[in-house]
Amino acid sequence: MSAASASFLLPSIIILPIAAMLLAFFLGGRRAMQIALIASPLGLALASGIAFVVWQIDQPLVYVIGGWAPPLGVALRADGFSAVMLVTTALIIALTGCFALGLFGTKEKPEKRAPFTFWMLLLSVWAALNGVFLGWDLFNCYVGLEMLTFAAVPLVCLDGRAATLMAALRYLLFALLGSALYLLGAALLYGAYGALDIGLLSARIRSEPAAWVALAAMTAGLLAKTALFPLHLWLPPAHAGAPPPASAMLSALVVKASFFLVVRLWLNLAPSEMAESVAQILAAMGAAAIIVGSVLALRQARLKLLIAYSTVAQIGYLFLIFPLALGAHPWVASAWVGGALQAVSHAFAKAAMFLSAGLITQALGHDRIAEFRGLGRKAAPAVLAFGLGGVSLMGLPPSGGFAAKWLLLTASIESGHWTWALVIAVGGLLTAGYVYRVIAPALAPEEVPSPTSAAHVSLSGAALALALALSAIMLFFVPPEFSNFLLAGAPGAIAKLVR
């Protein structure tokens, strides 16, 4: 299939979840669940098709909407990084959707509102993520971010409790502030350079006050949405209070969208002299997130809060790529591939851990870590899935997390950035500490054995969590050609270095 004939896949993967959402809205009730479950494998097939074409042509796949080239029209673009994020998103959406059948199935009569709302929001999140990952126009990316915000926030408070409503409102406040700053920056760039297409802007933008103010505003807004330390205050209560499948999507996917746009701004759009000035700041914030987030995770008494603070820490690793992936150096390709692998392996591992946390709560009736003795007997599959996810987060071989962190570590050493190498190593030890806090009591025998058995845990749910955890592990075994795939359409110097 040629690139020209395959480019229709790009709008199709955005249209599919939107069409499914509209159809579900009009049909209502249990039809929403059925439509979402039918659409998810179709979306996975489309995402896989896009990834296959990008792999084959070894360059970005582009679709110009309406045939009008930028700046008059809008382009969609899939490079290696965005293609792998599309596949990751589709797979996690499909598996968490299947897991959600146990919580948001619509067998009750009369039907409740929460299941219908959940399936509508799942489709909305999916459509918004696809729009962001394919966006090559700053305003279109803004539209995707806003759609993502207004789909993700209600997922936090589906149960209607006061605590989750407060968490959702805090999330909304940070997200709206971030959106306003992003839109302000986009408007300034359009006023200064007369374009919003990233490709056109990258050729026109200069290191001058207008560009600095615009990119600073946009970056600050995106960092708030990403929950990078110290702008992380909204994330732990929001992710910990949401239902397990919602937490899995929020932590695995939603925070990646804004990070993805930070990459677009500083590695695809900004001049190298501007990016080099900012890269160290972003990496320093990422390093602080790794240390502080890990320490806070160690101190948590509840499992879901521990996993949420772990997300704060793991996000930090993503921002280490900025100083490492700049310039025409031998290590920049490793840094880029390591960052992309970290985004994907974290998504699978974190989705598995949140689903496992839901199963553990189902088995025990609570998620208090201090009372986990004997959990391995009551919920063995859930503990196994959590442990495998933890292996990837720690960066132990064989796992995708190990491959990602090893590439970032070697790039840090080769570039002489020993500080980042030390942070990666310390972060791995701290991650091992909070994973051990869960696994150790879970594998310890109960002081007074209880009759509770593993039959109280959904075996199908445990299988889905285990599938996600194994996906994070299996990324270690991807062939070397996968690195070339991730480098297809990578920012200038990186792509040229390996061609």
Residue 112: pLDDT band with limits 50, 70, 90: low
Tokens of 418: 């020993």
Residue 291: pLDDT band with limits 50, 70, 90: very high
Is the per-residue pLDDT at 452 higher than 80? Answer: no
What does the DSSP assignment read for 52-107?
HHHHHHTS-EEEEGGG--TTTS-EEEE-HHHHHHHHHHHHHHHHHHHHTHHHH---
The total domain count for the chain is 1
Is the per-residue pLDDT at 499 higher than 80? Answer: no
Residue 108: pLDDT band with limits 50, 70, 90: low
Q: Which residues contact 348 (CB under 8 A, 6 or more apart)?
A: 88, 92, 252, 389, 392, 400, 468, 469, 471, 472, 475
Average pLDDT over residues 96-107: 82
Where would I find the H helices in 395-490?
400-415, 418-443, 459-474, 481-487
Residue 449: pLDDT band with limits 50, 70, 90: low
Least-confidence region, from 56-60, 92-96, 336-340, 495-499: 495-499
Examine residue 381 and say whether the peptide bond preceding it is cis (omega within 30 degrees of 0): no
Residue 322 near residue 266 (C-beta atoms within 8 A) = yes
Q: Rounded to the nearest 5°, which phi and psi values hold at 58?
A: 55, 35
pLDDT tens-digit series, residues 188-241: 999 999 889 999 999 999 989 999 999 999 999 999 999 999 999 899 999 888
- Mean confidence (pLDDT) of the chain: 89
pLDDT tens-digit series, residues 65-94: 877 888 878 889 999 999 999 999 999 999
Report the alpha-carbon distance of residue 58 to residue 53 in Å, rounded: 8
Examine residue 60 and say whether the peptide bond preceding it is cis (omega within 30 degrees of 0): no
pTM: 0.93
Residue 445: is it exposed, middle or buried by C-beta count within 10 angstroms (0-12/13-18/19+)? exposed
Tokens of 350: 């974190």
Instruction: Give the per-residue pLDDT at 455.
Output: 43
Q: Tokens 């809008």 identify what position?
A: 74
Point out which residues pair with 61 in neighbouring strands. Answer: 78
Average pLDDT over residues 145-162: 89
Q: Helices 113-134 and 31-57 sit at what angle, rounded to 10 degrees?
A: 20
DSSP SS3 for 78: strand
Report the alpha-carbon distance of residue 68 to residue 90 in Å, rounded: 29
Domain that holds residue 265: 3-498
Average pLDDT over residues 312-316: 94
What does the DSSP assignment read for 394-410?
HTPSSSHHHHHHHHHHH
Instruction: Give the per-residue pLDDT at 143.
Output: 94
pLDDT > 70 fraction of the chain, expressed in percent and rounded: 94
